[in-house]
């Protein structure tokens, strides 16, 4: 079988191309390197203030009321409100905070930077236990809800 000059050149060109690709693949797989990077996290996430409200003069032994929540974020970054936890205190030492219950409320809501009075998606409730003994000390007492998230 006789090989023409064109076929010979084409065969040599193909061999060179395959050999070059094999070398390139070998060089790729044996390459190595290293590096590093740095950055810093924010020093603060903002200044979140939570507020709660429920109707005045509507709570009584055995009753409950809806509690709505709002949030203010004076910071320059959005801040997330996770679960709102509430601690009850009263203006009269004979009106026992233990007679009131406010369950934790899961919000999982982002509060935009520089915002005020953002209504939180989920309401809570406050209930006053009827203890079976006089709770007259709670008549007209101020019920304060201290919130954290």
Q: What is the pLDDT of residues 80-94, one digit of tens each?
A: 999 999 999 999 999
Burial level of 95, CB count in 10 A (0-12/13-18/19+)? Answer: buried
Token pair 């801040």 is found at: 79
Q: Which of 30-34, 43-47, 92-96, 144-148 has the lowest mean pLDDT?
A: 30-34
Of the CA atoms within 13 Å of residue 42, those in its CB half-sphere come to: 8
User: What is the tens place of the pLDDT at every residue in 108-131?
Assistant: 999 999 999 999 999 999 999 999
- The pLDDT assigned to 108 comes to 96
CATH of the domain at 112: 2.60.40
Q: Is 125 a domain residue? A: yes
Instruction: Give domain status of residue 35, yes or no.
Output: no
Residue 7 counted as domain residue: no
- Tokens 């009827």 belong to residue: 130
Say if 22 falls within a structural domain: no
For residue 131, tell me if it sits in a domain. yes
Task: Tell me whether strands 48-53 and 64-73 are parallel, antiparallel or unpaired.
Answer: antiparallel
What percentage of the chain exceeds 70 in pLDDT? 69
Render pLDDT for 45-73 as a digit per residue (tens, 0 to 9).
667 899 999 998 889 999 999 999 999 99
- What does the radius of gyration of the chain's CA atoms come to, in whole angstroms? 35
Q: Is residue 2 part of a domain?
A: no
Confidence band of 38 (pLDDT split at 50, 70, 90): very low
Q: Does residue 38 belong to any structural domain of this protein?
A: no
Question: Is residue 4 within a helix (H) or strand (E), and if so which, with residue range?
Answer: none
In a domain, 27, yes or no: no
Give the model's confidence band at 11: pLDDT under 50 very low, under 70 low, under 90 confident, else very high.
low
DSSP letters for 29-95: HH------------S----EEEEEE--TT---TT-EEEEEEEEEE-SSS-EEEEEEEEEEEESSTTS
* Distance from C-alpha of 115 to C-alpha of 47, rounded to nearest angstrom: 10
Query: Residue 105: which domain range?
Result: 48-148
Domains identified in the chain, total number = 1
The pLDDT, as a whole number, for residue 26 is 47
């Amino acid at each position: 079988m006789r090989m023409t000059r064109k076929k010979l050149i084409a065969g040599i060109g193909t061999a060179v191309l395959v050999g070059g690709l094999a070398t390139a693949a070998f060089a790729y797989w044996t390459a190595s390197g290293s590096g590093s990077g740095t950055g810093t996290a924010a020093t603060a996430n903002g200044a979140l203030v939570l507020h709660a409200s429920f109707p005045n003069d509507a709570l009584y032994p055995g009753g409950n009321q809806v509690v709505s929540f709002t949030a203010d974020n004076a910071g320059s970054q959005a801040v997330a409100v996770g679960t709102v936890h509430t601690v009850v205190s009263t203006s009269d030492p004979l009106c026992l905070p233990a007679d009131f219950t406010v369950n934790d409320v899961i919000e999982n809501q982002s509060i935009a930077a520089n915002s005020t009075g953002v209504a939180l998606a989920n309401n809570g409730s406050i209930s006053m236990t009827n203890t079976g003994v006089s709770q007259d000390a709670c008549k007209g007492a101020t019920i304060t809800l201290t919130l954290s998230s």
